[in-house]
A and B are shown apart, each in its own frame.
Chain A
Amino acid sequence: MKLLEVENLSLKIRDADILRDVTLSLDQSDILAITGESGSGKSMTALAIMRLLPHGAQATGRIHLAGTDLARLSETDMCDLRGNDIGMIFQEPMTALNPVHTIGRQVTETIRIHTGASPAEAETRAREVMTRVGLPPDRFPLSRHPHALSGGQRQRVVIAMAIALRPKLLIADEPTTALDVTTQAQILDLLRDLVADFGMGLIMITHDLAVVADMASHIAVMRGGEIVETGRTAALLRDMRHPYTRMLFEASSHEVALPVPPAPQPLLTVSDVHRSYRLPRRKLFERPETFKAVDGVSFTLMRGERLGLVGESGCGKSTLTRTILGLDPPQAGTILLDGAPVTMQGRPNPDVRRRIQVVFQDPFGSFNPRHRVARLITEPFHLLADPPQGAARQDAIAQALTAVGLQPDDATRHIHEFSGGQRQRIAIARALIIRPELILFDEAVSALDVSVRAQILDLIAALCRVYGLTYLFVSHDLSVVRSVTDRVMVMQSGRIVEEGRTEAVFSDPQHPYTRQLIAAAPKLPDIEALQRDVTHA
């Protein structure tokens, strides 16, 4: 008997079809990956199995867990089942734990509500589980609160709560999406080990195809609430019968053709820049310690060059970006654009500022929702001494929108009328409109689905050909940086630890940290090699 069988699961919220005839199954000790882009219904499938759907959702179809039809259970029986037979892990470890309760209390709670164990018994059990997930209580006391743990450690607590009672089925909804690559690798290893040890079935929901290919024995590809293709991982990767599956894999490993950069001629010179923050005072009469966010960074960016900056969260990427933009003046060292300082007396130098623009990560939060596109993309005009007026202004708006693949008419619309990818195009139009000499892309494609990401990367490459862009591309995503930069810098604890031609750094990393990063990053399998193997056999 299969551990989990879902048959013809359909879901409506009000009149909208969210899921249509989803059918999938899972054996013990197996890992099923459900993948697809945002809005494909991956998470809703998981919530439907947990019967934790939002109010007003109507589900039909069969969901059998070890022979029990979940759809027929009462809410009380479902409460007994959740946490006991099915455990669930969520995407955002920073908010998945209750901030006012200790981690010990949150783990013991699962044990106590289901087993009626005494507080002491539950605590003993919790200690074992915490040790199992890599948080031994002698180093991570159960009396800690979530805010005292890092993202990866919190995710381990969430896993501990989910597996405390050794459920038959574990559902992990994007469990590593919010984590750094090295932490992601550790969490994925932990999940794999737990599946092997406990004989659980694991449903892994993720948009990251490299993780999917690496972890799962079976894959289900979803689009628009339907499963378009499903099968054993190796067979599915080899055949890829559905065009959508092929498109997803191609977009994930999308490579763009950058034009050859012009002869080197320095544009941005960063020399020995330092920037530190004061930490809160520990003792009343002691000097507060400082945190060195940027610790002696030097590099030169050539005109027409595409430079990448990679590193994990907290390495100082964002602080360095802010310093180059003139938002935070450097405490030591200089940043010169064409010989002119970016900041003068602690303030941004307006002559330099108008020659640098930035594109941020979040296409939803970085626009004022009340303004029309025309006003949004002309915001950088306030940096100019003599901004274009009247017809010249309209021409500039139309040109910028056309350059990023939108229509001049879009200028009169509001931002909520656009999709995430279109918004990121508007953000690029806003950066381009005053023809800056340097653009900073700060995680500019990290929030986008793979197919949209591929389009935006193509757009950036096309703009390089037309406008000869010079940019600094900051990202935690190694594969993206590899495809859109000529040269790359690797940052760790405020320092640049390795720097060189992008291909050289990725194919032959010198610094141990770079090697560790590259090793931790999940890799897409070589599909062509898989297919060759079969033909030869």
Chain B
Amino acid sequence: MLRYMLKRLVSLVLSLAVASLIIFAVIEIAPGDPASFMLGINAQPETLAALRAELGLDVSKAQRYVAWVGGMLTGDFGTSYTYRTPVAGMVADRIGVSIPLALYALVLSVVIAFPAGLYAAARRGRAGDLGVMGATQLGVAVPNFWFAMMLVLTFAINLRWFSAGGFPGWDDGVFAALKSLTLPAIALALPQAAILTRVMRSALLDVLGEDFMRTARAKGLSERQTLWRHGLRNALIPVLTIIGLQFSFLFAGTIIIEQVFYLPGLGRLIFQSISARDLIVVESVVMLVVFGVIVINFLVDLAYAVVDPRLRARA
């Protein structure tokens, strides 16, 4: 197990190094000089040069890469070109929204998908299964921003249970903050839950056909016991893969939902920074998102090893 973890850890560090190089290269190649963008087209060459020196744009690319990576390792993400405030502070505020939102949505998605998948698999081909499958078809097909708008119409505007958008911050208490994240989390979770339900159901059905499930029945376990004791853990392997992918998506891909609910999250920050050519913010946020995704993959790999002893042995 230790060997397996070490191997995964080495691959994590290597992925991060490669990702940082690619992000830096791609963003540096992108056309548009932040200094000339900030000063407009009529700027004096001297002013431009002074600003470039101030922003640290006048040294070689290699030096800038080293400075950028070195800074990030010590928690210094540089200073935003447009807002002139430390990027670290801006990002910290946004992460306080994005990560709880992603986790909230993921928990909802799992809480919906596990029972629904189990229920559908246990009643394969019967009315209950068809009902669940029909609902998931709908969940996959309907875009989440439309769900979001329906939720706002129903629960914020008609029933007035939730506010239609905005985020009060964590200082006003956990309850108020979670309450304002509830509608966006549901809107994000429903399509993910639909996908996860389908994966869960088909993984369970695959496992139901396995020889060891028949062996378990021959030992005297009931169908339900067989499913719980022998089916579930074997079915978790494909399900974990999807959960990992979903968390990555929820963490980084929530721009539209943040827009619908006026949430100050990472997605909006990236969007705004790209429009403003605030390259240092874009670089840092993208790197941070990549870091998050790679760490999640690492955790999923560890979870595989916990679930499947064959993986531990093979490493």
Interface residues of chain A, those whose CB is within 8 Å of chain B, are 50, 52, 75-76, 79-84, 87-88, 90, 92, 95-102, 109-110, 113-114, 145, 147-148, 158, 161-162, 280
Q: Say which residue of B211, B229, B233, B313 sits within 8 Å of A95 (CB atoms).
A: B211
In the bound complex, what is the Cα–Cα distance between A84 and B309 (angstroms)? 29
Which residues of chain A are within 8 angstroms of B229 by Cβ–Cβ distance? Answer: 109
Q: Say which residue of B210, B218, B230, B233 sits within 8 Å of A50 (CB atoms).
A: B218
B265 nearest CB across to chain A (Å): 38
When the two chains form their complex, are residues A145 and B310 in contact, meaning their CB atoms are under 8 A apart?
yes
> Interface code B211-238, partner A: CB below 8 Å = 1, 0 otherwise?
1101111111110010001100110000
When the two chains form their complex, are residues B218 and A95 in contact, meaning their CB atoms are under 8 A apart?
no
Q: Say which residue of A88, A100, A102, A161 sits within 8 Å of B308 (CB atoms).
A: A100
Q: Among A82, A92, A96, A100, find the residue whose CB has the most chain B CB atoms closer than 10 A.
A: A100
When the two chains form their complex, are residues B219 and A280 in contact, meaning their CB atoms are under 8 A apart?
no
- Which 9 pairs from chain A and chain B are nearest by CB? A83-B220, A95-B211, A83-B219, A88-B218, A82-B220, A145-B309, A98-B212, A110-B219, A96-B215
In the bound complex, what is the Cα–Cα distance between A87 and B217 (angstroms)? 11
Q: Say which residue of A81, A88, A113 sits within 8 Å of B221 (CB atoms).
A: A113
CB contact under 8 A between A84 and B220, given known A52-B214, A90-B215, A98-B230: yes
Which residues of chain A are within 8 angstroms of B84 by Cβ–Cβ distance? Answer: none
Q: Among B216, B221, B314, find the residue whose CB has the most chain A CB atoms closer than 10 A.
A: B216
Q: Which single residue of chain B is at the shortest CB-CB distance from A86?
A: B218
If over half of A's interface residues share one DSSP class (helix, strand or loop), that class is named, otherwise mixed; here it is: mixed
In the bound complex, what is the Cα–Cα distance between A113 and B215 (angstroms)? 14
A327 nearest CB across to chain B (Å): 25
In the bound complex, what is the Cα–Cα distance between A82 and B223 (angstroms)? 13
When the two chains form their complex, are residues B234 and A100 in contact, meaning their CB atoms are under 8 A apart?
yes
Interface residues of chain B, those whose CB is within 8 Å of chain A, are 210-212, 214-222, 225, 229-230, 233-234, 307-310, 313-314
14 A–B contact pairs at CB < 8 A?
A82-B218, A82-B220, A88-B218, A95-B210, A96-B215, A100-B233, A100-B234, A100-B309, A101-B233, A109-B216, A109-B229, A113-B220, A113-B221, A147-B313
CB contact under 8 A between A98 and B217, given known A92-B211, A145-B309, A145-B313: no
Which residues of chain A are within 8 angstroms of B233 by Cβ–Cβ distance? Answer: 100-101
**Chain A-chain B contacts (Cβ-Cβ < 8 Å), number:** 77
When the two chains form their complex, are residues B308 and A99 in contact, meaning their CB atoms are under 8 A apart?
yes
When the two chains form their complex, are residues A161 and B219 in contact, meaning their CB atoms are under 8 A apart?
yes
When the two chains form their complex, are residues B307 and A100 in contact, meaning their CB atoms are under 8 A apart?
yes
CB contact under 8 A between A90 and B214, given known A100-B307, A100-B309, A148-B313: yes
6 new A-B pairs (CB below 8 Å) besides A84-B220, A109-B229?
A87-B218, A90-B211, A95-B211, A100-B233, A100-B309, A145-B313
When the two chains form their complex, are residues A80 and B220 in contact, meaning their CB atoms are under 8 A apart?
yes
Which residues of chain A are within 8 angstroms of B212 by Cβ–Cβ distance? Answer: 95-99
Q: Which single residue of chain B is at the shortest CB-CB distance from A76?
A: B222
In the bound complex, what is the Cα–Cα distance between A485 and B220 (angstroms)? 48
Q: Which single residue of chain A is at the shortest CB-CB distance from B222?
A: A79
Q: Which single residue of chain B is at the shortest CB-CB distance from A110?
A: B219
When the two chains form their complex, are residues A114 and B215 in contact, meaning their CB atoms are under 8 A apart?
no
B15 nearest CB across to chain A (Å): 20
When the two chains form their complex, are residues A97 and B215 in contact, meaning their CB atoms are under 8 A apart?
yes
B139 nearest CB across to chain A (Å): 28
Q: Say which residue of B219, B230, B310 sits within 8 Å of A82 (CB atoms).
A: B219
Q: Which single residue of chain A is at the shortest CB-CB distance from B207?
A: A98
In the bound complex, what is the Cα–Cα distance between A84 and B214 (angstroms)? 16
CB contact under 8 A between A99 and B216, given known A76-B222, A79-B222: no
In the bound complex, what is the Cα–Cα distance between A110 and B220 (angstroms)? 7
When the two chains form their complex, are residues A75 and B222 in contact, meaning their CB atoms are under 8 A apart?
yes
Q: Among B216, B220, B230, B308, find the residue whose CB has the most chain A CB atoms closer than 10 A.
A: B220
Which residues of chain A are within 8 angstroms of B314 by Cβ–Cβ distance? Answer: 280
Which residues of chain B are within 8 angstroms of A97 by Cβ–Cβ distance? Answer: 212, 215
Q: Which single residue of chain B is at the shortest CB-CB distance from A111?
A: B219
Which residues of chain A are within 8 angstroms of B222 by Cβ–Cβ distance? Answer: 75-76, 79
B72 nearest CB across to chain A (Å): 30
Which residues of chain A are within 8 angstroms of B210 by Cβ–Cβ distance? Answer: 95
Which residues of chain B are within 8 angstroms of A87 by Cβ–Cβ distance? Answer: 218
When the two chains form their complex, are residues A114 and B230 in contact, meaning their CB atoms are under 8 A apart?
no
B227 nearest CB across to chain A (Å): 12
B208 nearest CB across to chain A (Å): 11
Which residues of chain B are within 8 angstroms of A100 by Cβ–Cβ distance? Answer: 233-234, 307-309
A535 nearest CB across to chain B (Å): 45
Q: Which single residue of chain A is at the shortest CB-CB distance from B225?
A: A113
Q: Say which residue of A84, A95, A101 sits within 8 Å of B230 (CB atoms).
A: A101
Q: Which single residue of chain B is at the shortest CB-CB distance from A78?
A: B220
Which residues of chain B are within 8 angstroms of A52 by Cβ–Cβ distance? Answer: 214, 217-218
CB contact under 8 A between A98 and B216, given known A79-B221, A79-B222: yes
A376 nearest CB across to chain B (Å): 29
Q: Which single residue of chain A is at the shortest CB-CB distance from B232?
A: A100
CB contact under 8 A between A79 and B220, given known A147-B309, A280-B314: yes
A147 nearest CB across to chain B (Å): 5
A53 nearest CB across to chain B (Å): 11
In the bound complex, what is the Cα–Cα distance between A84 and B307 (angstroms)? 30
B212 nearest CB across to chain A (Å): 4
When the two chains form their complex, are residues B215 and A158 in contact, meaning their CB atoms are under 8 A apart?
yes
A101 nearest CB across to chain B (Å): 7
A474 nearest CB across to chain B (Å): 27
When the two chains form their complex, are residues B215 and A82 in contact, meaning their CB atoms are under 8 A apart?
no
In the bound complex, what is the Cα–Cα distance between A161 and B218 (angstroms)? 10
Which residues of chain B are within 8 angstroms of A109 by Cβ–Cβ distance? Answer: 216, 219, 221, 229
When the two chains form their complex, are residues A99 and B234 in contact, meaning their CB atoms are under 8 A apart?
yes
Which residues of chain B are within 8 angstroms of A82 by Cβ–Cβ distance? Answer: 217-220
Q: Which single residue of chain B is at the shortest CB-CB distance from A88?
A: B218
Which residues of chain B are within 8 angstroms of A158 by Cβ–Cβ distance? Answer: 215
B304 nearest CB across to chain A (Å): 11
B238 nearest CB across to chain A (Å): 14
In the bound complex, what is the Cα–Cα distance between A161 and B219 (angstroms)? 7
B310 nearest CB across to chain A (Å): 5
In the bound complex, what is the Cα–Cα distance between A80 and B225 (angstroms)? 13
Q: Which single residue of chain A is at the shortest CB-CB distance from B231?
A: A98
Q: Which single residue of chain B is at the shortest CB-CB distance from A280?
A: B314
In the bound complex, what is the Cα–Cα distance between A162 and B217 (angstroms)? 11
Which residues of chain B are within 8 angstroms of A81 by Cβ–Cβ distance? Answer: 220
CB contact under 8 A between A114 and B220, given known A52-B214, A101-B230: yes
A221 nearest CB across to chain B (Å): 25
A159 nearest CB across to chain B (Å): 11
Which residues of chain A are within 8 angstroms of B218 by Cβ–Cβ distance? Answer: 50, 52, 82-83, 87-88, 90, 162
Which residues of chain A are within 8 angstroms of B307 by Cβ–Cβ distance? Answer: 100
A65 nearest CB across to chain B (Å): 14
Q: Among B212, B222, B309, find the residue whose CB has the most chain A CB atoms closer than 10 A.
A: B212
B237 nearest CB across to chain A (Å): 9
Which residues of chain B are within 8 angstroms of A95 by Cβ–Cβ distance? Answer: 210-212
Q: Which single residue of chain B is at the shortest CB-CB distance from A162?
A: B218
Q: Say which residue of B219, B225, B309 sits within 8 Å of A99 (CB atoms).
A: B309
In the bound complex, what is the Cα–Cα distance between A98 and B313 (angstroms)? 16
CB contact under 8 A between A98 and B219, given known A52-B214, A90-B214, A147-B313: no
Which residues of chain B are within 8 angstroms of A102 by Cβ–Cβ distance? Answer: 309
Q: Which single residue of chain A is at the shortest CB-CB distance from B219?
A: A83
Which residues of chain A are within 8 angstroms of B220 by Cβ–Cβ distance? Answer: 79-84, 110, 113-114
In the bound complex, what is the Cα–Cα distance between A125 and B88 (angstroms)? 61
In the bound complex, what is the Cα–Cα distance between A84 and B233 (angstroms)? 26
In the bound complex, what is the Cα–Cα distance between A441 and B215 (angstroms)? 35
In the bound complex, what is the Cα–Cα distance between A76 and B310 (angstroms)? 34
Q: Which single residue of chain A is at the shortest CB-CB distance from B312?
A: A145
In the bound complex, what is the Cα–Cα distance between A452 and B220 (angstroms)? 38
